[in-house]
Amino acid sequence: MHYLLTFDLHGWVPPSRAPLTQEKAASYVDSLTPVEEFAYACRSTEGGGLTVIRQALDANKAWAETMAEIKGRHADIATEMLRAWNSIQLRPWYTAKEIALMFPMISAALYGNRRIEHTPSGAISKQLRNAGIFYLRNSDDPHGFLAHGRREQYLVLAEFDKWREPVSQAEFDRLIQAFPRYSDAGASKKGGGS
């Protein structure tokens, strides 16, 4: 006891964070919502998340096809996702509405047993931002980017370092036209890297 009470701690600075143990890491991952789990997977996957987006699209398309076929509880959002399937692009950033449409399993999980009247894009956006996902910044307008006649904010899900700096509206317009549709690019590279 005397040794512990008189031990010289001069110059010792305690760490700012508690040590991470395997159990603590597992508890953290187990406590995540489906949206937070998706954000965690995007942030922690080597290659910046494009692989995660491809895999999630594969899983969600299979889920949507099954739900639409069996007319399950969430057949309405599954059918909506399948209708828009050929227009989904494979890119590192999306609006919250696009994310809700692309990943109907997440939308269904947010609503549970309640009937879905609309896609829960606001809840998805909030949870992604709280999980460290940031918006693509427009160097010309802080309200977002003009696309399809509407000004939208785009959440960055992949290649985070590449998209930290603001992008001009002209560069955004060029980029949005260049990204391939998932049905052309993503499906042919199932399980592949970015």
pLDDT in tens, 53-84: 988 899 888 888 988 888 877 788 788 888 88
Task: Read off the tokens for 114.
Answer: 């309640």
**What's the confidence (pLDDT) of residue 47?**
60
Q: Residue 188: pLDDT above 50? A: no
The average pLDDT across 86-92 equals 90
Predicted confidence (pLDDT) per residue in 125-135, tens digit: 999 999 999 99
Q: Residue 119: pLDDT above 70? A: no
Residue among 116, 112, 93, 109 nearest 176 (CA): 93
Predicted confidence (pLDDT) per residue in 11-59, tens digit: 888 888 888 889 888 888 888 888 888 898 898 877 667 888 988 899 8
pLDDT band at 185 (very low <50, low <70, confident <90, very high): low
The average pLDDT across 109-130 equals 73
Long-range contacts of 120-124 (CB under 8 A, 24+ apart): 121/95, 121/96, 121/97, 122/96, 123/35, 124/35, 124/96, 124/99, 124/100
Percent of the chain with pLDDT over 70: 89
The domain locations on the chain are 34-189
**What's the confidence (pLDDT) of residue 26?**
87
Q: Residue 142: pLDDT above 90? A: yes
CA 53 to CA 92: how far, in whole Å?
A: 8
93 close to 154: Cβ distance less than 8 angstroms: yes
**What's the confidence (pLDDT) of residue 114?**
53
The average pLDDT across 151-157 equals 96
Residue among 66, 94, 108 nearest 156 (CA): 94
**Strand residues in 50-121 grouped as ranges (E):** 93-94
**What's the confidence (pLDDT) of residue 184?**
82
pLDDT band at 87 (very low <50, low <70, confident <90, very high): confident
Residue among 46, 90, 94, 103 nearest 184 (CA): 90
**What's the confidence (pLDDT) of residue 117?**
52
Q: Residue 112: pLDDT above 70? A: no
pTM for this prediction: 0.77
If residue 83 lies in a helix (H) or strand (E), which one and from where to where? helix 75-83
